[in-house]
Structure 1
Amino acid sequence: MNNSRLEIVVGFFLVLGFAAFGWLALQLGEVSWLGEGSTYTLYAEFENISGVKTGADVQIAGVTIGSVAELRLSKDDFAVATLKLNKDIHLAKDSMASVKSQGIIGDKIIQITPGGDEELYQAGDVIVDTESSVDLESLISKFAFGGVK
């Protein structure tokens, strides 16, 4: 009888442990069908997004507010960055997205400059007011070969 009681207690703790592990996995994975999640998606169209990688930070005033989830090319040959932003961040329609370098190594990030418009971006909207990455090699070659005026 002592063995069966021990097996029941161990089984109970195993079930409890698996339930806790499953709950934690769902919370960290932001499963959208279980709740609203803690992020929403915006898209930003750039002429040049050179150096930005998936997982790069999206920042306002140096504070990380999200990350780059995907990079793709649009039908109009624009680079489109899919931005996952924290739900508590609300961007005005006249906000601007820029590609900037961060730190000595020069990791690229998306820097958002908030606007003052009363109308806000909704999930799925596209930011078209953007500032692309500076192509340093192109600038050097223009300077070296006389293309700068």
Structure 2
Amino acid sequence: MKRSMIDLWVGVFVAIGLASVTFLALKVANLTPQSDSNSYTLSADFDNIGGLKVKAPVKSSGVVVGRVTSIELDTKRYVAHATLTLDSKYRFSRDASAEILTAGLLGEQYIGLVQGGDEEMLKPGERVALTSSALVLEQLIGKFMTSFAEGNAKAEAPDKKTE
């Protein structure tokens, strides 16, 4: 009888552990159910989205106000077209700006919305006109190395003065 009681408690703890791991995995993958009844969509075009993914958060002042619902390539202008679903209690002005930011040095990428000063608000389905693309670390390092090499080449070149 004592052995079966121990087996029962071990089973209960294993079930709780599996439920916890499943919940955390869904939370990390942003697959937790969301209510779409009180939301609206906006769109934004970016030259480069970097590592931005569908279901990435949309934040304003660090507060999650929505999610990225789709990312497509506009084949006419060759820019990335992102569709954002925002909670209807958050409204943004027509001159609001969207930028792709990174949480920490190597963290997830998200879209940051910055409120503008216009009194007229964006309507559902409209496009955020002011956007800033993602900063790609490899491109920044490449630019730094190129400018560093050019600076060294200029410093090593002798000055040629006419006499």
Superposition TM-score, scaled by structure 2 size: 0.66
Indicate yes or no: 2:129 matched with 1:128: yes
Counterpart AA for 1:109: Y
Please tell me the root mean square deviation across aligned C-alpha atoms, in Å.
Answer: 2.1
For structure 2, the residue ranges without an aligned partner over 5 or more in a row are: 1-32, 152-163
For structure 1, the residue ranges without an aligned partner over 5 or more in a row are: 1-26, 31-36
Q: Which runs of 4+ in 1 moved over 2 A?
A: 27-30, 145-149
Q: Distance in 2 between matches of 1:116 and 1:29?
A: 30
Counterpart AA for 1:87: S
Contact 2:95 2:129 in 1 (8 A): no
Structure 1 segment 88-99 matched on structure 2, within 5 A: 88-99=89-100
Equivalent residue for 1:63? 63
Q: Distance in 1 between matches of 2:147 and 2:115?
A: 37
Q: SS at 1:133's partner residue?
A: coil
Equivalent residue for 2:154? none
Superposition TM-score, scaled by structure 1 size: 0.72
Change (3 A) 1:49 1:67: same
By how many angstroms is 1:28 displaced?
A: 5.7
Indicate yes or no: 2:85 matched with 1:84: yes
By how many angstroms is 1:146 displaced?
A: 3.6
By how many angstroms is 1:104 displaced?
A: 5.2
Q: Distance in 2 between matches of 1:46 and 1:134?
A: 11
Give aligned pairs, total. Answer: 117
Q: Which has the larger radius of gyration?
A: 2
Percent of residue pairs identical: 35
